[in-house]
Amino acid sequence: MSQASTIRGQEILNNPARNKETAFTMTERQSLGLEGLLPPTVENIDRQLERVQTQLAAKPNDLERYIYLMSLAARNETLFYHTLMSDPARFVPIVYDPTVADACLTFGHIYRGSAGMYLTRDMKGRFKKILRNWPVKDVRFICVSTGGRILGLGDIGANGMGIPIGKLQLYTACAGVPPEALLPVLLDIGTTNAALRADPLYLGLRELPPDEAEVDLISEAFIEAATDVFPGVCIHFEDWKGTDAMRLLARYRDKVLCYNDDIQGTAAIAVAGLTTALQIKNETFADQRVLFLGAGSAGIGIASMIVSAMVEAGLGEAEARERIVLIDVNGLIETSRTDLNEWQKPFAHEAKPTKDLLEVVRTFKPTILIGVSTIGGAFTEEVVREMAKLNERPVIFPLSNPTNKAECTAEQAYTWTKGKALYAAGVQFPDFEYQGKSYHPGQANNFYIFPAIGLAVYATRPARITDDMFITAAAATADQVGPSAREHGMLFPLQANILETEVTTATRVAEHIFDSGQATVERPENIRAWIEGLLYKPVYKEL
């Protein structure tokens, strides 16, 4: 008999994967030693959901709702996911972006209990032993962060643990990946954030991060340990410092099953939105000129995937790169710069040095403007009006988050372009009415992509994750935006149907994995039905 089947009484109530709270039947209460430990009324999960909704409605803000939902996850996992999946458009912004940004900033102050694992740099020689402390042995995904570049917040060290926790919760809530297969990890290498190191309630190492060589040694030890303790596990890199992120992805992508959502997922969702926008404009990627404000891991990742889309549309790779211009904190990425990293150099062009975004818009004449700068308001009225002057339907994607980091709001973009902009942001802005027409701004959020990639990988067990899988996911996402939605400026599917959307995308990705010979399981006759049979469902099981 398994240990899980022998636990009784309070042990069951303390086990979030088995706890049903007031939904235990009278028979279960008698057989499991729960009599007297619960109120006498037996409720179903929908009645419990009513209570959750009532308590959430009484909270003063979304951060308090986040705290409540994390506490619910820690005591009753099934009810937590039943809540999220009952109304994803409402709850995803609470458990993830934008509320998770506030949660991460105050993580040590709102800490209620452990979720996931914390590995510190001094544990490097013992990673395998420590990872074996995790109670689940068949872990299929590890989302790991150093907290080195969280959203637009910068280096927040161990406070960044909210991101791996939230990302993996979306694997389940948005794509039905079973939660027992998921492990959030904070790889604590220290933080450059002096304020956090001085905060008495900060929970991480109060040390500066090591040099790049030591980071690489720590990362190598972690990956070796994780793939040994959990054979076949997929490593999801999340919110590492930009140069670390690009370097480690390049090093490991052809060696282990891994991906970096900030690079590949962000690129895929941007390409998905651009695909829809260009379909509305009846243009192709070969017709575009793309200007980026921001040239970190996200910007380079998106630019590289746009190059692939342009090549697919008929351009040569060099010609495609000529149609993409980037600006970073030090100015235009151009050939006289001596501070460019190896990923930026391929996008450096012969041009006059400048830091003036408006000047670059006027000289380069972009059709698409993308912001990944984390500089709130950087797309000024002058810049946006110039885009509208150059283009009948300017494509404007201020992708930085949280909300106060967005380069411009939806209201600004639609007003300054007189309703002509094809707009998507990294956060969800409210609907906006301009001259009698209602616009529904898009949210280019990675949760349309990475949970679907996760579900497809969970099902097909490929040895590696390739960019082709992300390009397939981008196309599948764009294909699910119908004509009526596009009329209202929507560039992404409705969040209310996120599970259906993700299953459709995952099916397309799984088909690609089978077609390309990358799957390590037998191909089923009906891939979608097979995937649907693997989905986690937030319902109570009989004990």
Could you report the per-residue pLDDT of 451-494, keeping only the tens digit for each? 999 999 999 999 999 999 999 999 999 999 988 888 877 899 98
* Cα gap 285→516, rounded to integer Å: 25
Number of continuous H segments (helices) and E segments (strands) in the chain: 25, 14
Contact call for residues 200 and 106 (beta carbons, < 8 A): no
Locate the DSSP E strands across 42-178: 117-120, 141-145
Place of tokens 């074996």: 132
Place of tokens 């099934």: 78
Structure tokens at 137: 């042995």
Q: Which residues pair with 446 in a beta bridge?
A: none
| Span between the terminal Cα atoms of the chain, in Å | 14
Q: Which residues pair with 370 in a beta bridge?
A: 292, 397
**Ranges of the chain whose pLDDT falls below 50:** 1-4
Report the amino acid identity of residue 165: I
CA neighbor of 218 nearest in space, from 120, 350, 349: 120
pLDDT of residue 26: 97
Kindly list the strands in the beta sheet with 182-188, ordered across the sheet, starting from the edge strand earlier in the chain. Answer: 117-120, 182-188, 141-145, 234-237, 258-260
The CB-based long-range contact list for 96-99 (8 Å cut-off, 24+ gap) reads 96/166, 96/167, 96/169, 96/170, 96/447, 97/151, 97/401, 97/402, 97/426, 97/427, 97/445, 98/401, 98/402, 98/403, 98/427, 99/62, 99/63, 99/65, 99/66
| Beta carbons within 8 Å of 41's beta carbon, 6+ residues apart | 22
| Beta carbons within 8 Å of 351's beta carbon, 6+ residues apart | 325, 332, 334, 335
Residues composing the chain: 543
Burial of 434 (0-12, 13-18, 19+ CB in 10 A): middle
The answer to whether 418 is a known catalytic residue is no
Contact call for residues 347 and 324 (beta carbons, < 8 A): yes
Burial of 348 (0-12, 13-18, 19+ CB in 10 A): middle
Q: Write the pLDDT tens digit of every residue in 283-310.
A: 999 999 999 999 998 999 999 999 999 9
The torsion of the CA quartet 148, 308, 334, 393, rounded to 10 degrees, works out to -100
Contact call for residues 408 and 287 (beta carbons, < 8 A): no
The separation between CA 278 and the C-alpha centre of its own chain, rounded to angstroms, equals 24
CB atoms within 10 A of CB 39: 8
Question: Cα Rg for the chain, rounded, in angstroms?
Answer: 24
* Cα gap 406→293, rounded to integer Å: 12
φ, ψ of residue 184 in degrees (nearest 5): -80, 140
The torsion of the CA quartet 75, 80, 82, 85, rounded to 10 degrees, works out to -160
The answer to whether 167 is a known catalytic residue is yes
Q: Which residues pair with 120 in a beta bridge?
A: 188
Q: Which residues pair with 368 in a beta bridge?
A: 290, 395
Kindly name the residue from 20, 81, 167, 202 that is annotated as catalytic: 167
The separation between CA 263 and the C-alpha centre of its own chain, rounded to angstroms, equals 10
pLDDT of residue 5: 58
Q: Which residues pair with 398 in a beta bridge?
A: 371
* Cα gap 92→69, rounded to integer Å: 11
Place of tokens 């996008």: 347
* Cα gap 356→366, rounded to integer Å: 15
Locate the DSSP E strands across 117-233: 117-120, 141-145, 182-188
pLDDT of residue 494: 87
Kindly name the residue from 96, 414, 458, 536 that is annotated as catalytic: 96
Q: How far is CA 543 from CA 7, 28, 416, 536, in A?
A: 11, 7, 59, 17
pLDDT of residue 428: 86
pLDDT of residue 208: 97
* Cα gap 220→217, rounded to integer Å: 5
pTM: 0.92
DSSP H stretches of helix in 326-374: 357-364
**H or E segment to which residue 432 belongs:** strand 432-434
Contact call for residues 309 and 471 (beta carbons, < 8 A): yes
